[in-house]
Copies of this chain bind each other. A is one copy, B any other.
Amino acid sequence: MKFEFDNKRPIYLQLFEILKNEIISGGFEPGQKLPSVRELSLMAQVNPNTLQKALGTLKQEGLIHTRRTSGKFITEDQKLIRTLRLEKARQMTEAYYLQMRSLGLSSQDIQEMLTLCEANHESAGMH
């Protein structure tokens, strides 16, 4: 899990997205205990308040829950996790497709660029 922020958007939002990604991509096990707020804020090098705000948003989406005195835990609802992962993938694909089209590329152009991109990464991975 890498914590890299840009200045253009609120840090708590970026934190939220990083953590959400980690959860829905399976970087955390369902039901797993999260590191403490203090620990996480050290790892991310952000103010604990900022981290709390990100966790609050995760809680709203039902991805984590708090057990008083014992800490914060990833949801055990695997169906929710799968749904959110698919939904996010779908949204990203839709956005990607529309932006490429608005640049004037055809469906075929897009397929080709994507294939090229995959090829680059696979050959790079071989070393």
Determine if A43 is an interface residue (Cβ-Cβ < 8 Å).
Answer: no
When chains A and B are docked, how far (Å) is the Cα of A115 from the Cα of B115? Answer: 12
Residues of B within 8 A of A26 (CB): 104
Please measure, in the bound complex, the distance between the C-alpha atom of A122 and the C-alpha atom of B108, giving whole angstroms.
12
Contacts of A96 in B (CB 8 A): 92-93, 96, 114
Of the residues B8, B11, B109, B122, contact of A107 by C-beta under 8 Å: B122
* Contact (Cβ within 8 A) A113 B89: yes
Chain copies in complex: 4
Give the bracket for the number of chain A residues in contact with chain B: 35 or more
> Taking the complex as formed, is A61 at the interface, i.e. its CB lies under 8 A from any CB of chain B?
no
Judge whether A33 is part of the interface by a CB distance below 8 angstroms. Answer: no
Point out the residues of chain B lying under 8 angstroms from A102, CB to CB: 21, 25
Instruction: Answer yes or no: A28 CB below 8 A from chain B CBs.
Output: no
Knowing A92-B96, A96-B96 are in contact, say whether A118-B107 is a contact too (CB < 8 A). Answer: yes
Residues of B within 8 A of A85 (CB): 103-104
A-side residues, CB < 8 A to B, are 7-11, 13, 21, 24-26, 66, 68, 85, 88-90, 92-94, 96-97, 99-105, 107, 109-111, 113-118, 121-122
